[in-house]
Structure 1
Amino acid sequence: MSDSVELETLHLSGPDPAIVFVHGGLGSLWNPYPQLAAFEGEHELVTYSLAGNGNSTARPTQSLAGHVSDLRQLLDELQIDQPIVHGHSYGTAVAIEYAKRHPIAGVVLHAGGDHDLTPAWEKPLLRLFLALRLYRIPVNDALIRQLAYTVGFHEETSPAVVEDFLQSNPLPHRRSAWTTVTEGFWGYDGRSTMDQIDVPTLVIHGPADGIVPVEVGRDTAIRIPKGVFCRVERTGHVAMIERPDAYNTLIRALVTAIRETLNLDAALSSHLECEE
């Protein structure tokens, strides 16, 4: 990849359009595991670890532009043209900036948007972890679970679902994964050029998201010419995990709009949670 970066990647063959998943801060290529299971064989699928995360190598300097360049080179290597790019949380910044610069079929932005992706409590917490190198040691499970239940999930989400997600996606112990957030994503604001995204774009948000406010997603959709906002009830920051069937139905509607050259609003007309 760019700057000699090698990305840990899972690539599953299937029909077009390919769906490419970009995880958020402190996430992993396994974040969208319900979607990987649901769409295997139905679409070509790609999920990968951002530079400095998982088993991907790190570059000396983290930057959003570098992550966008990595994605471009990865898709060139896999010979994937015009995919659907799915970004989650901070990964929405990568998806947005990639969509502004390169040919794609569609975009899915979940639990993120074009600005205000950093909650007030995050900066002091991450600075503490970096200063004291707390990322090197096992974190307090009770603390992490309390944080997840408080700001990450809807109160009605089954504890079994929360635990499954936490066990499948443990916090990283590499410093580079934490600086991906602090150096690559803090302060992101892409609002001024959102009209450059001229493809069907699905913006999905959970009303109980305690990390990125739902208003950020709604405002982002308004700035995208072909954007549609969908509020998935009874979900928080990971609707794709909390209500995967409803979430996957929305993605299939996006695919229908792309394949049949339909207006995305029309393809989503039966989904009451979606707004023009």
Structure 2
Amino acid sequence: MAQVLMRPWGAMHVRFDGPEDGPSLVFANSLGTDFRIWDAVVQQLPEWRIGRFDKPGHGLSDRAPITSIDSMADDAAALIEVMGGRAAFVGLSIGGLIGLSLASRHAECVSSLVLSNTAAKIGTTDSWQTRIDTVEQDGLPSIADGVLEKWFSPAFQASDDIAPWRNMLTRTDPQGYADACRAIADADLRNAAPGLDLPVMAIAGSLDGSTPPDLVRETAAMIPGSRFEMIEGVGHIPCVETPDQYATLLRNFLETTR
């Protein structure tokens, strides 16, 4: 059921699925997407009480005047509080940065953490500024082909299944997208990662052009006791390309850390 959670910056679009008395699980999705990227995975975890949210300026959420990875982690903490105060957390790409911030600054909220297709530091200030300039000048359609090449495998890109995800990207608020790019550019969780003390699993896609497997593995190695998993033949958003395999990895991990 979709709802609104009011935050200091405005209305955050959220959704809850699963039994109210189930263990809590929160998903945070990637740049230029909304929480629908998790639909096929959520269907395979019926025993969990699942919360999802659209970041500021994404999906049906308002745009925030100022946003950062820490402020989005605070948004996630507010959602978890509504759900009961403690949850497993799965973060993809920018969602993984949010998860790292959440686990380091709101440790009481997080029982376990999945870092999917992400890293403690993603890209450089210059590379993100170039993307921001392009989007603000020419719009999101101008970068869509390049982004989709990093998001998905060649086989998926060649299929009709690519169309909805292109539409999701190009219909994102360009200013909301640029705000999130700035948040990623400013974020560096490399000092926070080694101090985490909870079960952590990192997931990489072998064809991920945004956060390549070695980058994901490098972040996993910073976190004591973490495990690393690779999904072969997929890109940056495996929950869309291979939801069955992705859900199996999550289920196996979550059932051992509840």
User: Normalising by structure 2, what TM-score?
Assistant: 0.86
**Letter aligned with residue 122 of structure 2:** D
Aligned position for 1:18: 24
Q: CA-to-partner distance for each residue in 1:123-150, whole Å, 9 max, x for gaps?
A: 4233122135x25xxx36xx73x43553
Aligned position for 1:181: 180
1:51 matched to 2:56 = yes
Q: CA-to-partner distance for each residue in 1:183-233, whole Å, 9 max, x for gaps?
A: 211142111121232111111011111111211110111111131110111
- Which has the larger share of strand? 2
Identify which range, 196-205 or 150-159, moves more after superposition: 150-159
In structure 2, the CA distance between the partners of 1:122 and 1:61, relative to structure 1 (3 Å rule), is closer
1:128 matched to 2:127 = no
**Letter aligned with residue 221 of structure 2:** I
Aligned position for 2:236: 237
SS at structure 2 position matched to 1:31: helix
1:99 matched to 2:103 = yes
Unaligned 5+ runs, structure 2: 1-5
In structure 2, the CA distance between the partners of 1:150 and 1:118, relative to structure 1 (3 Å rule), is farther
Q: How many residues align?
A: 249
Q: Which has the larger radius of gyration?
A: 1
In structure 2, the CA distance between the partners of 1:163 and 1:235, relative to structure 1 (3 Å rule), is same
User: After the TM superposition, which residues 147-226 of structure 1 pair with which residues of structure 2 at under 5 Å, given as runs?
Assistant: 147-148=146-147, 150-157=149-156, 159-167=159-167, 169-226=168-225
CA contact (8 A) 1:209 1:237 kept: yes
Q: CA deviation at 1:179?
A: 2.7
**Letter aligned with residue 17 of structure 1:** P
Aligned position for 2:86: 82
CA contact (8 A) 1:161 1:242 kept: no
Unaligned 5+ runs, structure 1: 260-276
Aligned position for 2:40: 34
Distance in 2 between residues matched to 1:234 and 1:172, nearest whole Å: 27
**Letter aligned with residue 101 of structure 2:** E
The share of aligned pairs that are identical, in percent, is 19
**Letter aligned with residue 66 of structure 1:** S
SS at structure 2 position matched to 1:6: strand
1:67 matched to 2:72 = yes
User: Normalising by structure 1, what TM-score?
Assistant: 0.81
Query: What is the aligned-residue RMSD (CA, Å)?
Result: 2.3
Distance in 2 between residues matched to 1:32 and 1:119, nearest whole Å: 29
In structure 2, the CA distance between the partners of 1:61 and 1:226, relative to structure 1 (3 Å rule), is same
Moved over 4 A (4+): 117-122
SS at structure 2 position matched to 1:42: coil
Q: CA-to-partner distance for each residue in 1:68-99, whole Å, 9 max, x for gaps?
A: 111112222x2333211111111111011001
Q: CA deviation at 1:107?
A: 0.9
Distance in 2 between residues matched to 1:226 and 1:219, nearest whole Å: 13
Distance in 2 between residues matched to 1:8 and 1:150, nearest whole Å: 28
